[in-house]
Structure formats: C-alpha cells, structure tokens
Structure 1
Amino acid sequence: AQPVTPRRVLVVDDVAVNRLVAQALLEADGHTVLLADSGEAALALLEAGAQVEVVLLDLQMPGLDGPQTARRLRALPRDGAALSIIAVSAAGTAERAASLAAGVDAHLPKPIDRMALAAALQALPEVVKATE
C-alpha cells in the first residue's frame, strides 16, 4: 500500500459516536482531526480560521443538512473552493446525487469502512498551500 499523506480533516456529524469512530479511523492513519457536531459549527470553525484540507460530512443532520453545508463551505471566501468534501451517509443513491450536485467530491456509505475512507482520501488531489 502507498504511504498515506497526512491530512487535516474536519469531521462533521451530529451523532457523537459517529464522530468518534471517524476520528479513530482517521487518527489511526496519521491524519489530524477536528470535530464539529453540526454544519453551523463546521462553518464557524472555518470562518474562525481553522486550517483543514478535507471535510468528512454527514449528509443527514438537523439544522443545516449535508448538501446545504457543502454549498456554504464551497462559498467560503478563503478556501472554500480548495476544500475537499467527502460525504458520508446511510441513505441511498438519491442522496448521493444531491450531495454531488452540492459540490461534494466523494461519497461513502455508513458505516464508514476504513479501507474505503483511506482510498477516498488518497484519491483526493494534494492541497498545495502557497507559502508567503
């Protein structure tokens, strides 16, 4: 297997156990993890300057759902376009289509499979940060 490029990942899920499982899977592969329990909290973290490359986004949340959150993330002025967004959902293909239309880069079913998650992260483009 190829070595994994460590990423800074924001896990957004309204269910605490789902956040913890995703965090454990990601940290086991060397990624740095931030957690948010809602779309609103995720946006607040990024607007406050949190540095992340990838957002692992639950699609079914109260308040701002996954597709709404993805659209709002994409609209962020600083690095919305550069963020990679991986949607996770227990629902089927209709939701997948809606999330892809909202600007999500990849889609994974729940429960999250470690190998599928690693493969999705590996398939994302490298984030090149301009050094000033």
Structure 2
Amino acid sequence: MPHRLGPGTPLSQLHVITRLARATAGAASAVCVLALVMTAPAQPAAATPTPATQAPAAQSLPLDQAIAALPQAAESSAGYDRAKFRYWNAGSNPDDGCDTRGEVLVVEAVSAPTVESGCRLVGGSW
C-alpha cells in the first residue's frame, strides 16, 4: 500500500520530503543553466572600428582653452512651467515662511530682493 501524505503525516516526514523537493528543484535548475552555458555560441570577435565609428581622440588642453572651446547657446526657459515644481519643502528655517525655492533665489541673486512677509520676494535680479 503506497504511503499518502495527509493530516496524519508526521512533521519529520514532511520536512524530509520538502527538503528533497527543494534539492531536486535546485539540481534541475543548475542542470538547465549548465546546459545553456555549454551550448551557448562563442562570442564573435569584436569588429575593428572604422574611422566613421571611432570616437574622437582625447585632447589635453589648458583649462582656459578647454572652457573657451565649450559651445555656447542663448539661455532659454522654453518648456519651463513653475506649476510642475509645487513640492518645495519648508527650507532651512521652517518659521521664516521661505521654502527652499525662496531661499535659493535670495542666495543666488545678483542684486538681493526684498523679502516681505510670507517670503514674498520683491525686486532683485538673477
């Protein structure tokens, strides 16, 4: 008569069966991975880059020349929408009413704005 698992099966037998099932599954997985590795095609040799695909040669320039070589473009705020950035935190001093945006604007100003109540910034330039 075959042995059946059920409510009366001792825990020690269930433990052994569970461990055997896990070991079998692990061994089967290892065999599958090994089979894939052994049958995988060898990597093709790297193609020799042609002049059209080669990266430009690195240059070594003094800092002032490297900065002068950077491309320049006119400043643009096209696509900026302040409403997309509504999650400003309370800033370094939560009691002064200035959020992080307001604090950064004050610190980064070329000419400082007047800070009114509620951190309303008046004047200034950036």
Same topology, TM > 0.5: no
When normalised by structure 1's length, the TM-score is 0.20
Q: Which has the larger radius of gyration?
A: 2
Taking structure 2 as the reference length, the TM-score comes to 0.21
More strand by share: 1
